[in-house]
């Protein structure tokens, strides 16, 4: 397994079929109808993809099970500004549980003899936008290898990614919806199929005018 998509596909094949989301002090699933507090679950394995230039720029996949609720599923969190919010207490509990679980993947190198599994962006966007278990944002990290990172980010109508910078040049390609991409006083509105590029370290923010999903591609310099 060399990409986050392959990790997630492999876990689903092993029975980790529930999608967990962070909700302040607990994990939620099944349309937020079920809450799991730290004492209700364990981390069976975790997979960490760390940024090349910034150790804090990482994505972590947790393989989680709960005997109490008879559930197995995955939680994906990371990528700095794009990560889902949660309380310090919950994040500390996840980190502690992960320390006691096998560390299954850390910045793997793609095998030279095989192509990674293909992905369909429309299918990913559809899955994210029809998932009612998250509130303002949902992230699907796809590739993080050899200086290239691609992530599908879904935003609910009115959600804003506050101003931030990227360490390398980026492109933002809207798959579905309509967003505003702003740098200082300048604004560009993008809808289905729209794409824009930005050089490294330029402060920018993003606002969704409707439920939207876009592909973020970052190149490390």
Q: Is residue 103's pLDDT more than 70?
A: no
Does 213 share its domain with 159? yes
- Of 106, 134, 166, the last residue of a domain is 106
pTM for this predicted structure: 0.62
Whole-number Å distance between alpha carbons of 204 and 16: 36
Does 97 share its domain with 128? no
Task: List, in sequence order, every residue forming a beta bridge with 139; answer none if it has no partner.
Answer: 153
pLDDT in the model for residue 1: 44
Q: With left for phi above 0 and alpha for psi between -120 and 50, is residue 204 left, alpha or beta?
A: beta
Does 145 share its domain with 75? no
Q: How confident is the model at residue 106 (pLDDT cuts 50, 70, 90)?
A: very low
Domain membership of residue 114 (yes or no) is: no
Q: How large is the average pLDDT for residues 96-110? A: 59
Does 91 share its domain with 144? no
Does 167 share its domain with 90? no
Q: Is residue 72's pLDDT more than 80?
A: yes
Domain membership of residue 115 (yes or no) is: no
- Of 106, 141, 166, the last residue of a domain is 106
Does 95 share its domain with 127? no
Domain membership of residue 113 (yes or no) is: no
Does 125 share its domain with 202? yes
Q: Is residue 165's pLDDT more than 50?
A: yes
Work out the number of other CB atoms within 10 angstroms of the CB of residue 188: 12
Domain membership of residue 128 (yes or no) is: yes
* Contacts of residue 86, Cβ cutoff 8 Å, sequence gap at least 6: 22, 23, 24, 25, 77
Domain limits at 215?
Answer: 121-219
Does 183 or 90 have the greater pLDDT score? 183
Does 94 share its domain with 176? no
Say if residues 155 and 206 touch (Cβ distance below 8 Å).
yes
* pLDDT, tens only, 48-66: 765 544 444 567 888 999 9
Task: Name the average pLDDT for the chain.
Answer: 81
Does 163 share its domain with 99? no
Domain membership of residue 143 (yes or no) is: yes
pLDDT in the model for residue 109: 36
Domain membership of residue 111 (yes or no) is: no
79-83, 88-92, 184-188, 209-213: range with lowest mean pLDDT = 79-83
Tally of domains within the chain: 2
Does 37 or 143 have the greater pLDDT score? 37
- Of 106, 134, 149, the last residue of a domain is 106
Domain membership of residue 93 (yes or no) is: yes
Does 10 share its domain with 55? yes
Q: Is residue 197's pLDDT more than 60?
A: yes
Residue 183 belongs to a domain with what CATH number? 2.60.120.10
Q: How confident is the model at residue 117 (pLDDT cuts 50, 70, 90)?
A: low
């Amino acid at each position: 397994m060399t990409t986050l998509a392959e990790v997630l596909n492999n876990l689903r094949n092993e029975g980790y079929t529930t999608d967990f989301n962070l909700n302040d002090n607990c994990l939620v699933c099944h349309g937020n109808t079920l809450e799991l507090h730290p004492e209700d679950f364990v981390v069976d394995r975790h997979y960490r993809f760390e940024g090349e230039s910034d150790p804090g720029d990482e994505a972590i996949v947790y393989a989680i099970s709960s005997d109490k609720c008879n559930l197995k599923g995955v939680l994906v969190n990371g990528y700095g500004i794009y990560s889902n919010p949660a309380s310090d207490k919950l994040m500390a509990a996840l980190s502690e549980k992960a320390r006691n679980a096998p560390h299954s993947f850390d910045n793997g190198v793609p095998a030279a003899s095989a192509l990674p599994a293909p992905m369909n962006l429309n299918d990913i966007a559809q899955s994210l936008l029809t998932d009612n278990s998250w509130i303002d944002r949902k992230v699907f990290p796809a590739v993080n290898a050899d200086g290239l990172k691609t992530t599908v980010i879904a935003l609910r109508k009115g959600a804003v990614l506050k101003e931030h910078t990227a360490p390398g040049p980026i492109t933002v390609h809207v798959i579905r919806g309509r967003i505003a991409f702003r740098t200082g006083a300048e604004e560009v509105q993008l809808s289905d199929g729209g794409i824009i590029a930005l050089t490294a370290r330029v402060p920018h923010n993003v606002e969704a005018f409707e439920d939207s999903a876009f592909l973020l591609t970052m190149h490390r310099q």
